[in-house]
Amino acid sequence: MSVQPTTDPAPGQIDRSAALEFYRVMLTIRRTEEQLARSHQQGLIHGACHTYVGQEAIAAGVCAHLRPDDAVFSTHRGHGHALAKGVPPRELIAELFGRATGCSRGRGGSMHLFAPEIGMMGTSGIVGPCILQATGAGYSFQLLKTDRVGVAFFGDGAVNNGAFHEGLNLASICRLPVLFVCENNQYATEIAFAYAAGNPQVGMRGSAYGMPGVTLDGNDVVAVYQAAGEAVARARAGGGPTLLECRTYRTRAHAEGMRDVGYRTQEEVDRWKAQDPIARCRTYLLQKQAVAVEALEQIEADVQTTVTEAERFARNSPWPEATTACQHVYSEPAQPASH
Ligand SMILES: Cc1ncc(C[n+]2csc(CCOP(=O)(O)OP(=O)(O)O)c2C)c(N)n1
- C-alpha radius of gyration, the chain, whole number: 20
Query: Do 57 and 80 contact (CB within 8 A), yes or no?
Result: no
Taking each helix axis from N to C end, the angle separating 56-63 and 277-287, rounded to the nearest 10 degrees, works out to: 60
How much distance in Å is there from the Cα of 191 to the middle of ligand 1? 10
The 10s digit of each residue's pLDDT in 137-182 is 999 999 999 999 999 999 999 999 999 999 999 999 999 999 999 9
**Length in residues, the chain:** 339
Q: What is the pTM of this model?
A: 0.95
Amino acid at 214: V
Atom 1, ligand 1: which residue's CA is nearest? 127
Predicted confidence at residue 70, as pLDDT, reads 98
Tell me, in angstroms, the distance from the centre of ligand 1 to residue 192's CA: 12
pLDDT at 128: 97
User: How much is the pLDDT for 332?
Assistant: 77
Looking at residue 1, its pLDDT comes to 31
| CATH level 2 (architecture), domain 16-311 | 3-Layer(aba) Sandwich (3.40)
- Please say whether the dihedral angle defined by the alpha carbons of residues 293, 297, 303 and 307, taken in this order, is positive or negative: positive
**Distance (Å) from CA 157 to ligand 1 centroid:** 6
What is the SS3 assignment for 115? Answer: strand
Q: Is the shortest distance between the CB of 155 and ligand 1 below 6 Å?
A: yes
Among protein residues, the one with the nearest Cα to ligand 1's atom 2 is 127
Q: Which atom of ligand 1 is nearest to the CA of 193?
A: 16
The closest residue, in CA terms, to atom 20 on ligand 1 is: 188
Span from the CA of 124 to the centroid of ligand 1 (angstroms): 10
- What are the structural domain ranges in the chain? 16-311
Q: What is the pLDDT of residue 8?
A: 43
Other CB atoms within a 10 A radius of the CB of residue 23 amount to: 23
Rounded to the nearest angstrom, the distance between the alpha carbon of 188 and the centre of ligand 1 is: 6
Q: Per residue in 263-285, is it b (16+ CB within 10 Å) or e — as a string? A: ebeeeebeebeebbbbebbbebb
- Residues in CB range of 336: below 8 A, 6 or more apart: none
Neighbours of 234 (CB within 10 A): 19
Contact 222, 9 (CB under 8 A): yes
Residue 211 CA to ligand 1 centre (angstroms): 25
Residue 188, ligand 1, Cβ within 6 A: yes
- Contacts of the segment 199-204: beta carbons below 8 A, 24+ positions apart: 200/1, 201/1, 201/245, 202/156, 202/159, 202/243, 202/245, 203/243, 203/244, 203/245
Taking 50 as the pLDDT cut, the residues of the chain under it are 1-11
- The finding on whether 111 has its CB within 6 A of some atom of ligand 1 is no
Q: Which DSSP letter does residue 184 get?
A: E
Q: Among candidates 195, 169, 194, 193, which has minimal Cα distance to 180?
A: 169
